[in-house]
Amino acid sequence: MTIINPNSIAGITSVTAEAGVMNFYKSDGTLAGLQLNGVNFNTTSGISTFSNLYVGGVLTYEDVKNVDSIGIVTAREGVVIPDTKELKFGSSAELKISNNGNAGYIQHSGSGYLFIHGNDIALRSTSQKNYIVCDSDQEVTLYYNNSPKFETTSGGINVTGKAIIDAVDVTELSNGATNNGIFLNAGDTGAGNRPYLDIKGAGTSALSGKALRVYYDNGGTESFYVDYEGNVSGKSVTIADKIIHAGDTNTFMEFDTDTITFDTAGSERVLISSTGLIWAKTRSAEVRRMILSGSPSNASFNIEAHDGESGTSSGDVQGKLGLFYNDGSTLTNTACISFERGSSAADGAMAFVTNQAERLRITSDGDMGLGANNPGADPAIGNDATVFEIRQTTTGNITSGNNRKGAVLRLKHEAQWENGYQSNNPNDDLGRVEFVTGDNSAGEGVRAAIRCRNLQYYNLHDLAFETVGPTGTSLTEKLRITSKGDVGINTTGVSYGDHIYLGIRGNSTSRGGVVHVGNSDHSVTGQFSVYNSKVWVHSGTAHPLVFGTGGANEHATLTTNGYFNIPNQPAFKASGTLSYTDWNSYEYVNFGTENFDNAGAWNGYSFTCPTGAAGDYLFQVEFLSPGAADNGNNNYILFALFIGTAGQNLWRQDWSSSGDNKNASFSGMVLQLSDGDVVRVAFHKSYGRPYHAGYNSFSGCKIS
């Protein structure tokens, strides 16, 4: 069917209907873009209507990509989007809503936020169980199985049940606020409903890792931590009541008002009182206890031991403090301090024990014994002075090894680089023994000291003795024994080359040091001293001054009258009738009489210088000139004094006489002899001999 010129439709010249299809054509004969084909409504350029478009059945869009509506689209029975299809919003479809048959999706890909506005907003299940509920301007609540678990409040958050959190960072805090922190609050409805905090670490190794840490200084400084082994470390821990041993409620440390107690097996064993007393109760409250305390009247610290008994019993051990070894059956006294009772309440002794034997004791009198359990008891001490005795005891007879060694008092300076000691520093020493007096009066303190001086290196040490006085209050050195063995009294300059030197210096220029010796009652004394710029060797009483060697052998004596005697000095005299022995051009003289010979050096015709007696000797020759009967007409004689066996002519003398007149001649000479030199008198054979019948002599003596 064709309808020509449908004037009521602008631009349409004809309408053709055929086989259930109605086509609309333009005046140029082309299809107008509108086709009605059964229930389908097809148009190539869109449909425009100036009023409402009503569709009684189902309006189906075939191959339609977009629906453009200027106004509002109202779907009275709802809008259905097929599975996997999306409801898109935005020019670039930034917001999409879709469903895949099982799950639904809301997707937002825009650069801004996805806002859901509402005074009260709730996210629920199809069974109306809450997931999230947001109340207007108030809290937000998260639910589990329709039960609230997490709630925001004006003060923070509330969590019902357990919270498993990887990390908690509380950074928005206000200075001085009292509600900064994390709080666990719950009603006490039974032990199972009380709040607790679990920190669980996986694995069984590295338990020393820190589980709970507390920092300050913006996390820069750690002040407290708890590791996975239960160790706690921090500056301080505040405990309100007790620290109880896990699994053993009868063992604990309890805090009360100003006191601390330690309990084992449910009974109090140690108590620290508010006054500082430490009560160690080893049995029960009334038997055997030890008290460590501060004195009520001062800050001193006391250790008191009680055995629970009344009265006193001398020698009873009241308590022991130290180390004991227990092998399960026997308690061995390894090392301890033992406290013993005395004969009265105020008495008492203290003994120090090692290896089950007493080593040191302090008596009630204040005496101290190292290796001696009765120091001061020796009657040889003879006074009430405080005694410190070091005793080495040898059981039985002294035989060998250490049994022959006595006690040792050792002062040791443990140090390295001993060459750091300085000889010019008076305070450098290896150790000292001081003798002190003092009751806070003037001029008291250290009055004498024995010091081992360190002089530059480890093997240069002097032993110095110092005292105060005779003037002043400072210690001054009075005697020194050097490392070489020199001894100085009142002087430190005692070194003299390789010699062993004793130096004694006086206190003034006119009076020097004095060496004074004497017998027991001072009836015989002697001195060696410096006085009035002279060196004196004299006896202090009216006794001679003797010089000798080899014990009591006298060799020279200065008598009380000022005479100097040398009894054994080499000296001799020979005289008497003469005889002669031929000797080269001379004949030496034999004297018939030996008047004396102190050293046994004269043999009748010569003197031999004794060994050790070398020196200067004075010799004298006395002869009577010959008469006519001796020399005939030759009244001249020539004699000589010889030294040595070779006949060295040392001195010659001529005599002459006339007729039978006899002239006496004396001649003297000083000779310097060495040990073994021989001196004799000889006459020349070409001259006459002296008077034969006597009045002739030869003598000599050592003069220096």
**CATH number of 622's domain:** 2.60.120.40
> Considering its fold, how many domains does the chain have in total?
5
Report which secondary-structure segment, H or E, holds 628.
helix 628-631
State the pLDDT at residue 666. 67
Question: Please, which residues have CB within 8 angstroms of residue 683's CB and are 6 or more apart in sequence?
Answer: 580, 586, 587, 588, 589, 637, 638, 639, 640, 689, 690
Residue numbers of the domain that contains 274 = 242-394
- Let me know whether 333 and 446 are in one domain: no
- For 234, counting Cβ atoms within 10 Å of its Cβ (0-12 exposed, 13-18 middle, 19+ buried), the class is exposed
Report which secondary-structure segment, H or E, holds 261.
strand 259-264
- Let me know whether 621 and 500 are in one domain: no
Task: Phi first, then psi: give them for residue 330, nearest 5 degrees.
Answer: -125, 135
What span, in angstroms and rounded, lies between the C-alpha atoms of 97 and 106?
A: 5
Question: Please, which residues have CB within 8 angstroms of residue 196's CB and are 6 or more apart in sequence?
Answer: 184
Q: Is residue 305 predicted with pLDDT exceeding 60?
A: no
Confidence band, pLDDT 50/70/90 cuts, at residue 298: very low
Greater confidence (701 vs 334) lies with: 701
Query: Each residue of 503-524: pLDDT tens digit?
Result: 777 767 777 778 877 777 777 8
- For 498, counting Cβ atoms within 10 Å of its Cβ (0-12 exposed, 13-18 middle, 19+ buried), the class is exposed
State the pLDDT at residue 292. 53
State the pLDDT at residue 151. 92
Highest mean pLDDT among 15-19, 192-196, 594-598: 594-598
**Average predicted confidence (pLDDT) for the chain:** 74
Task: Indicate whether 411 belongs to any domain.
Answer: no
| Interior angle at CA 214, CA 211 and CA 217, nearest 5 | 145
- Let me know whether 360 and 495 are in one domain: no
Q: Is residue 167 predicted with pLDDT exceeding 50?
A: yes
State the pLDDT at residue 417. 64
Other Cβ atoms closer than 10 A to 601: 19
Highest mean pLDDT among 105-114, 221-230, 527-536: 105-114
Q: Are 369 and 392 in contact (CB under 8 A)?
A: no
Task: Indicate whether 551 belongs to any domain.
Answer: no
Find the Cα–Cα–Cα–Cα dihedral 236, 242, 243, 246, rounded to 10°.
-150
* Least confident among 49-53, 374-378, 428-432, 433-437: 49-53
What span, in angstroms and rounded, lies between the C-alpha atoms of 274 and 291?
A: 14
By 3-state DSSP, what share of the chain in percent is helix, strand and coil, each rounded to 5?
Answer: 0, 45, 50
Q: Are 682 and 637 in contact (CB under 8 A)?
A: no
What span, in angstroms and rounded, lies between the C-alpha atoms of 165 and 350?
A: 63
Report which secondary-structure segment, H or E, holds 630.
helix 628-631
Q: Which of 505, 521, 540 is the last residue of a domain?
A: 505
Highest mean pLDDT among 177-181, 208-212, 387-391: 387-391
What span, in angstroms and rounded, lies between the C-alpha atoms of 149 and 162?
A: 9
Closest CA to 260 of 249, 276, 246: 276
What span, in angstroms and rounded, lies between the C-alpha atoms of 451 and 437?
A: 18
Task: Indicate whether 91 belongs to any domain.
Answer: no
Question: Please, which residues have CB within 8 angstroms of residue 701's CB and are 6 or more apart in sequence?
Answer: 569, 570, 571, 572, 617, 618
Residue range 394-416: mean pLDDT, rounded: 76
Query: Each residue of 535-566: pLDDT tens digit?
Result: 888 787 678 888 877 666 777 888 888 787 87
Greater confidence (545 vs 12) lies with: 545
Highest mean pLDDT among 39-48, 217-226, 246-255, 378-387: 246-255
Using the 8-state DSSP alphabet, how is residue 293 labeled?
Answer: E
Query: Each residue of 620-670: pLDDT tens digit?
Result: 888 876 655 555 445 556 667 777 654 455 555 555 555 455 556 667 888
Q: State pTM to two decimals.
A: 0.41
State the pLDDT at residue 148. 92
- Let me know whether 292 and 433 are in one domain: no
Confidence band, pLDDT 50/70/90 cuts, at residue 41: low
- Let me know whether 427 and 491 are in one domain: yes
- Let me know whether 588 and 500 are in one domain: no
In whole angstroms, how far apart are CA 687 and each of 162, 620, 641?
155, 21, 16
349-353 long-range contacts (CB < 8 A, ≥24 apart) are 353/322
Q: Is residue 573 predicted with pLDDT exceeding 50?
A: yes
State the pLDDT at residue 158. 85
User: Judging by DSSP bridges, how do beta strands 147-153 and 140-144 pair with one another?
Assistant: antiparallel
Q: Which of 489, 505, 521 is the last residue of a domain?
A: 505
* Least confident among 282-296, 323-337, 473-487, 661-675: 282-296
What span, in angstroms and rounded, lies between the C-alpha atoms of 321 and 269?
A: 16
- Is the N-terminal amide bond of 470 cis, ω within 30° of 0? yes
Q: Is residue 271 predicted with pLDDT exceeding 80?
A: yes
What span, in angstroms and rounded, lies between the C-alpha atoms of 520 and 502?
A: 24
Confidence band, pLDDT 50/70/90 cuts, at residue 235: confident
In whole angstroms, how far apart are CA 281 and each of 268, 271, 289, 349, 698?
8, 8, 5, 23, 110
What span, in angstroms and rounded, lies between the C-alpha atoms of 263 and 556?
A: 94
b/e map 535-574, b = 16+ CB within 10 Å: eeeebeeeeeebeeeeeeeeeeebeeeeeeebeeebbbbb
Task: Indicate whether 86 belongs to any domain.
Answer: no
Q: Are 25 and 14 in contact (CB under 8 A)?
A: yes
State the pLDDT at residue 413. 78
State the pLDDT at residue 284. 42
Q: Are 589 and 685 in contact (CB under 8 A)?
A: no
State the pLDDT at residue 572. 94
Other Cβ atoms closer than 10 A to 144: 13
Query: Distance from CA of residue 210 to its chain's centroid?
Result: 35
Amino acid at site 87: L
Task: Indicate whether 386 belongs to any domain.
Answer: yes
Query: Each residue of 82-141: pLDDT tens digit?
Result: 888 888 888 888 889 998 888 888 898 888 888 888 888 888 888 889 889 998 878 999
What span, in angstroms and rounded, lies between the C-alpha atoms of 222 and 230?
A: 17
- Let me know whether 261 and 386 are in one domain: yes
State the pLDDT at residue 595. 92
Greater confidence (153 vs 199) lies with: 153
Residue range 300-318: mean pLDDT, rounded: 55
State the pLDDT at residue 499. 58
- Let me know whether 280 and 361 are in one domain: yes
What span, in angstroms and rounded, lies between the C-alpha atoms of 369 and 391?
A: 7
- Let me know whether 319 and 251 are in one domain: yes
State the pLDDT at residue 602. 93
Is residue 222 classed as helix, strand or coil in its secondary structure? strand
Task: Indicate whether 125 belongs to any domain.
Answer: no
- Let me know whether 288 and 366 are in one domain: yes
Sheet of strand 210-216, all strands in order from the earlier edge strand to the far edge: 210-216, 221-227, 232-234
Confidence band, pLDDT 50/70/90 cuts, at residue 574: very high
Residue range 571-591: mean pLDDT, rounded: 86
In whole angstroms, how far apart are CA 352 and each of 356, 357, 365, 366?
10, 8, 17, 15
Task: Indicate whether 322 belongs to any domain.
Answer: yes
Q: Are 559 and 566 in contact (CB under 8 A)?
A: no
Task: Indicate whether 146 belongs to any domain.
Answer: no
- Let me know whether 228 and 283 are in one domain: no
State the pLDDT at residue 11. 55
Work out the percent of the chain whose per-residue pLDDT is above 70: 64
- Let me know whether 361 and 429 are in one domain: no
Is residue 457 classed as helix, strand or coil in its secondary structure? coil
Q: Are 687 and 599 in contact (CB under 8 A)?
A: no
Amino acid at site 315: G
Which structure tokens are listed for 148? 């609230």
Dump strand ranges (E) for 315-411.
Answer: 317-326, 331-341, 348-354, 357-362, 368-370, 388-390
* Least confident among 29-43, 347-361, 371-385: 29-43
In whole angstroms, how far apart are CA 47 and each of 3, 32, 44, 51, 501?
21, 12, 9, 12, 145
Q: Which of 484, 505, 526 is the last residue of a domain?
A: 505
